[in-house]
Homo-oligomer: A and B are copies of this chain.
Amino acid sequence: MARLLTQLIPGTLMVMMLAGSSSADEGMWLFDHPPREQLKKNYNFDVTDAWMTHLMHSAVRFNSGGSGSFVSADGLVMTNHHVGAGALQKLSSAKRDLITTGFYARTREEELKCIDMELNVLVDISDVTAKVNAAVKPGMPAAEAQLARRAVMNTIEQESLKATGLRSDVVTLYQGGQYHLYRYKKYTDVRLVFAPEKEIAFFGGDPDNFEFPRYDLDITFFRAYENGAPAKIEHYLHWSAAGAADGDLVFVAGNPGHTDRLNTMAHLEFLRDRVLPDQLTRLRRREVLLRTYSEQSLENARRAQAELFGIENGRKANIGRLAGLQAPAIMAAKQKEESSRRALMGNITPDPWEAVATAIKINEKIYTDLGLLEYGGAFNSHLFSIARTLVRLGEESAKPNAERLREYRESNLDSLELQLFSAAPIYKDLETVKLSDSLGMLIEQKGADDPLVQKILAGQSPTERAAKLILDTTLADVALRKKLADGGKAAILASNDPMIQLARLVDEPARELRKIQEQQVDEPMHQAYARIAQAQFKALGTSAYPDATFTLRLAYGAVRGYEQQGQKIPPFTTIGGAFEHAAAHNNVPPFRLPSRWMESKSKLDLSVPMNFVSTADIIGGNSGSPVVNRAGELVGIIFDGNIQSLVLDFVYTSDMARAVSVHSSAIIEALRKVYDAGALADELQGHPGK
């Protein structure tokens, strides 16, 4: 997390959460079911509908995997630097490295239009559970049930889009206990306003990632446009005059990506024994690959930096998650929880815990091949992804909407095409290095004598094959991609682009694996978890929150320090602390402050709070979430969790787990005194303490 980007995890692992009895400050609450009682009881805070609505409409989801918020009437959006890094990377070139130098548009004209960015603002939520359940008849075989559910969801979304013009997603909550339709207003004309240098945004680098105390200015500002002009925003967050203070009740509105809190033990063991070790092996492999590529030249380093950051972040997060599952104390607690739950619910026939375990056994069997072929592990190349999408788009768009793979449903095509036709730069040398390595991995994992592997390699070594594919494909040309997409299935079949032909070659076996996954693993697991959920609803009522699903949630907690190995960690750091931290590390990267900061030191009020921690319940995907006070004013922005927070994937604890935020005052101080960005600070403070 410091770097709470969501890590999207294969569908199979999506499970629901039903915290029987939430600890204080626990929970990633639905916006239509806020924890009113807990807030009243623990903090004497009355949640009003108006307060919730304002916060919901002010919150922004970055479709690429993060959170943010509107912070001015003129469409200004604040998020983390590491959420915006992908956009900065796409706007950069050998001659302009915005991640390194930072950026500030002093006028609207200087704002840079982002490539393929999509922001989502949640407009309303409606319960469509009855409609979905009506389509899936009791007693249906799992395969049929899966098709029926997919069909009704695709249809509901398409009808909603037609009726409202809004992005419409059916979200599976409580893993099938409920289905909600989320409608979003979309912004795709988004422009870059301000970003600091990476050296201060990610000060301390990988060593300090997921650590506290911290001293990062992990922020970036964008502006949403409509019809060529800054969007006029009714609901945006007003800037707090003082920011967060020790002991304050604070709220976080963001999009936590995924949690596993109600996983059965068998499911947690699968994560521990297979999923996380496998993901870590692949992450480390890619980390080493991109590091060695990056070391070859400064330009290589620039090309790979955003991707490398994501990999390193994922590696550190997953090491923390795996360490949690390898800790006997945590597994014993989870076992106790499962035993109590089973005891409470009595016998359920057929036993859903058994059903989950059975589904996992099937999952285990196809796990490697599915990762290689369907999730693209063997084809670590952006150009391959484009080819795969074109091939499937041709095939799926020829089918009725209800029968399509979820990502090709009619209502999703705009978002899909925004990515597919992106003009983001593609570096063929980097593509070759990545594809070559992953083809090598394919041989290692499936065997050199496998007939499909031999067809994929076409008698060449991985290096030769990758070099030739990347050299010969024409898919780097956006116009050609569009032409192929417009030509539909016939154009794909007629194409002699070698990457298209490779994507076609692996499509059938990949689809076959996906079908097994969806029908023999995911569907039985959904049904089993739904039965556990229903039993728990009966036993305990519905006052609970579902596991995270990269949809908008409310978390809350107190600004509070903690004790670590007998040492008190205060909740705040200061701007002065950043300078001390750099000096303690000889100002050597990643502990070097940008020269702009060194030169501005005498102007800065070193006592201004820089970062702070709170007990709010967050996880990857919450990156960039606004932190607000009782008055709904912005007091900070989430950018990380400490190392102890990584187990929040499985279990909430407020002993030492903390969410880490940039303090609102540090943002103003830096904008005014380091970046000479008074106009931006004025825009933020337009309604001080309103």
Question: How long is the Cα–Cα vector from A585 to B277 in the complex, in angstroms?
Answer: 37
A323 touches B590 (CB 8 A): no
Question: How long is the Cα–Cα vector from A287 to B273 in the complex, in angstroms?
Answer: 22
**Pick the contact of A292 from B207, B298, B444, B457 — CB < 8 Å?**
B207
**Pick the contact of A291 from B291, B326, B464 — CB < 8 Å?**
B291
- A447 at interface (Cβ–Cβ under 8 A)? yes
Inter-chain contacts of A457 with B (CB < 8 A): 328
With A206-B292, A284-B285, A285-B284 already in contact, the answer to whether A463 and B277 are too (CB < 8 A) is: no
Inter-chain contacts of A459 with B (CB < 8 A): 328
A273 touches B328 (CB 8 A): no
A327 touches B461 (CB 8 A): yes
B328 touches A295 (CB 8 A): no
Inter-chain contacts of A443 with B (CB < 8 A): 326
Inter-chain contacts of A269 with B (CB < 8 A): 448
B448 touches A272 (CB 8 A): yes
B461 touches A297 (CB 8 A): no
With A281-B281, A284-B284 already in contact, the answer to whether A273 and B447 are too (CB < 8 A) is: yes
Question: How long is the Cα–Cα vector from A315 to B322 in the complex, in angstroms?
Answer: 25
- A288 at interface (Cβ–Cβ under 8 A)? yes
- A296 at interface (Cβ–Cβ under 8 A)? yes
Inter-chain contacts of A331 with B (CB < 8 A): 448
Within 8 A of B (CB), among A457-484: 457, 459-464
Question: How long is the Cα–Cα vector from A177 to B498 in the complex, in angstroms?
Answer: 51
A326 touches B295 (CB 8 A): no
Question: How long is the Cα–Cα vector from A326 to B329 in the complex, in angstroms?
Answer: 44
B326 touches A205 (CB 8 A): no
- A213 at interface (Cβ–Cβ under 8 A)? no
0 or 1 for each of A578-598: is its CB under 8 Å from B? (1 = yes):
000000011010100000000
- A440 at interface (Cβ–Cβ under 8 A)? yes
B273 touches A444 (CB 8 A): yes
Within 8 A of B (CB), among A256-311: 269, 272-273, 277, 281, 284-285, 287-288, 291-292, 295-298
Question: How long is the Cα–Cα vector from A508 to B205 in the complex, in angstroms?
Answer: 44
Q: Which residue of B lies closest to A295 (CB)?
A: B207
B206 touches A295 (CB 8 A): yes
With A323-B462, A323-B463 already in contact, the answer to whether A315 and B298 are too (CB < 8 A) is: no
B295 touches A440 (CB 8 A): no
**Pick the contact of A323 from B205, B284, B288, B440 — CB < 8 Å?**
B440
Within 8 A of B (CB), among A437-463: 440, 443-444, 447-448, 457, 459-463
Question: Shortest Cβ distance from A525 into chain B, in angstroms?
Answer: 22
Which of A315, A443, A444 has its CB near the most chain B CB atoms (within 10 A)?
A444
Question: How long is the Cα–Cα vector from A5 to B297 in the complex, in angstroms?
Answer: 26
Inter-chain contacts of A288 with B (CB < 8 A): 284, 287-288, 315
Question: How long is the Cα–Cα vector from A488 to B225 in the complex, in angstroms?
Answer: 80
Q: Which residue of B lies closest to A439 (CB)?
A: B326
Question: Shortest Cβ distance from A589 into chain B, in angstroms?
Answer: 9
Inter-chain contacts of A463 with B (CB < 8 A): 323
Question: How long is the Cα–Cα vector from A491 to B429 in the complex, in angstroms?
Answer: 60
A328 touches B461 (CB 8 A): yes
Question: How long is the Cα–Cα vector from A448 to B205 in the complex, in angstroms?
Answer: 32
**Pick the contact of A448 from B206, B273, B285 — CB < 8 Å?**
B273
Q: Which residue of B lies closest to A588 (CB)?
A: B298
Question: How long is the Cα–Cα vector from A284 to B326 in the complex, in angstroms?
Answer: 21
Inter-chain contacts of A272 with B (CB < 8 A): 448
Inter-chain contacts of A316 with B (CB < 8 A): 292
Within 8 A of B (CB), among A206-228: 206-207
**Pick the contact of A322 from B285, B440, B588 — CB < 8 Å?**
B440
Q: Which residue of B lies closest to A436 (CB)?
A: B323
Q: Which residue of B lies closest to A289 (CB)?
A: B284
**Pick the contact of A296 from B207, B322, B323, B460 — CB < 8 Å?**
B207
**Pick the contact of A586 from B296, B298, B586 — CB < 8 Å?**
B298
0 or 1 for each of A321-343: is its CB under 8 Å from B? (1 = yes):
01100111101000000000000
Question: How long is the Cα–Cα vector from A443 to B323 in the complex, in angstroms?
Answer: 11
Question: How long is the Cα–Cα vector from A585 to B300 in the complex, in angstroms?
Answer: 11
Inter-chain contacts of A586 with B (CB < 8 A): 298
With A288-B315, A440-B323 already in contact, the answer to whether A328 and B460 are too (CB < 8 A) is: yes
Question: Shortest Cβ distance from A166 into chain B, in angstroms?
Answer: 43
B295 touches A590 (CB 8 A): yes
Question: How long is the Cα–Cα vector from A207 to B284 in the complex, in angstroms?
Answer: 18
Within 8 A of B (CB), among A621-647: none
Question: How long is the Cα–Cα vector from A440 to B318 in the complex, in angstroms?
Answer: 13
Question: Shortest Cβ distance from A359 into chain B, in angstroms?
Answer: 20
Question: How long is the Cα–Cα vector from A298 to B585 in the complex, in angstroms?
Answer: 8
Question: Shortest Cβ distance from A436 into chain B, in angstroms?
Answer: 9
Question: Shortest Cβ distance from A279 into chain B, in angstroms?
Answer: 12
Inter-chain contacts of A297 with B (CB < 8 A): 585
With A277-B444, A298-B588 already in contact, the answer to whether A462 and B326 are too (CB < 8 A) is: yes
Cβ contacts A to B, 8 pairs, < 8 Å: A207-B296, A269-B448, A273-B444, A298-B586, A298-B588, A323-B440, A323-B463, A327-B464
Nearest 5 A/B pairs, CB to CB: A327-B461, A277-B444, A207-B296, A284-B288, A207-B295
Further pairs besides A281-B285, A326-B443, A326-B462: 13, Cβ < 8 Å:
A205-B295, A206-B295, A207-B295, A273-B444, A273-B448, A281-B284, A284-B287, A292-B316, A297-B585, A298-B585, A323-B463, A326-B448, A331-B448
